[in-house]
Structure 1
Amino acid sequence: MNAVPHVAPAPLHARWLVDRRHDLLSTVGGLGASLAQMALHVLGGVSGPPLWWAWVLLLDGPHLFATVSRTYLDARERKTRARLLWGSLGWFAAGPAVFAASVLAGQRWPFAVFVTLTSLVFWPSVSRRMDFLMFTVAVTAFHNVQYHGIVWFFHRNRYHAEGVDRSAFGWAPKVSQRFIVYALCGLAFTLAYRTLGCGMGVHPGCGAFDAKVALGGAGLTLRDLMEGFIWGFALHHYFLDQYIWRVRRDAGLNQDLKLGTAGLA
């Protein structure tokens, strides 16, 4: 039998992706956001809709804006990735297209399949005490906070480093000049598209405004059409993220995230 060669273990070093404060806020802070939502719902008895709206307005909607701020608001990105950015807007037509197919076929199931994109396997001891709405919030809030941390670090390096010509990037440096400005822009972006959905009764707590205008003979309404369109924001975000964060293929992104210059803490 051949002897297994002895390999000395690699030395462990304390490394921070950005720095201690930033990393702890974006990791521990993200975990804390998820646990706080779960605790308020499961232990505190707070109902789903208020917590859902807090999550949407403060974390999830603004994290979609984070993607917009480093793509469509960046003049260089719009030029470099023009085909990707404008072509990806087709995802907003996906829901309405499936809706139209359901109306033409006179059957609801194609649209029902579309809005049920994924099935989640719940942790039994928690899921029995959490509705689906809150489970979505709990598992996504952590990602939202981390994503904001990554994008904010990207902004500081790409648009606000010493010697950078901010005028070459369009609106992106303006919306990221201070975190409060970035946060308020994210909130305004979220209010714009979620108010549209709320007006059609798509979101929790908005039933009083439900537009039950029948469209076709499959039992589908104007509310369903708007729900399909609102899904486009998430699908568009997921699609773009597959391309704009490819660090192995994008030397500029590596530089903006300082992946090759991380030093020991």
Structure 2
Amino acid sequence: MAELEELKREFAEMQRRLAEQAGALDHARSEQREALSLAKAVIEQQASTRATPATIYVPREHKLADFTGSTKPGDGGVEEWILSMKSAFRVMKVPEEDQVELIKPHLKGEARDTVRFMLTEGDNSVESIFKLLQETYGDKVPIGTRLKDFYDRKQAPAETIRAYAYDLRERLYKVKRREPGRVPDEEGVLKEQLVLGLRDDLLRREMKRRIKEEQSLTFAQLMQDAITWSEEEEAQPESILKPPVRAKAAVHTTVATGDTSSPLTLEKLPTQ
């Protein structure tokens, strides 16, 4: 009887443990279902957020430029305006389907009428608008003329090195904007032309030496080196820069004072 009672107790204990394990397993499965449900909700929320276009926010201080179709110097060309609009699209994360609506308020006067009347019916894409404006108001100067303007550029009298360098870069930019692959080594060509066009012979030779010794020198660094070197030359003492003038002054002083102690006497001066 004692053995039978012991077996019953062991069997009851075994059933209790199995019941505990089954309860733990059910609890784990319940937690797993809740986790999966939560993960699904998060994924659906993220997908919904991506599908909703981002709100366009234009800060008050970020005023977009208008384009009127004017080609007068200083008004800004269509190329610059297109670049500024594309930059605004990126900065403000404007969805492609909303970009046209952002452009329209910034087309004024003739440019607005050009898009209104000349754009193909049904074609209302951003790229079509930009292409039409580029063809109508873009740079019409032959690319060969633009290249000649660049290679013929020299530093003008009284022109600063910085102004000369900036204009040189702007001329090459006009070529690159029309034909990006026309000048392969842009940096090298810019440095070469900067040096060739310098007005000062000594400065030109010095900058040629700098390019040869340090080929990794950038255009901006070369320009700054030229400016620094030029300022150092201008800062040299007058006695070093113009010794002949000093010598001439000494001669006149001798004549005026009649100082016979000087090795250069009146007898050695040419007679009138």
Q: Which TM-score band (shorter chain)?
A: under 0.3
Q: Which has the higher contact order (CA 8 A, sep 6+)?
A: 1
- Decide which structure has the larger Cα Rg and report it: 2
TM-score normalised per structure 1: 0.22
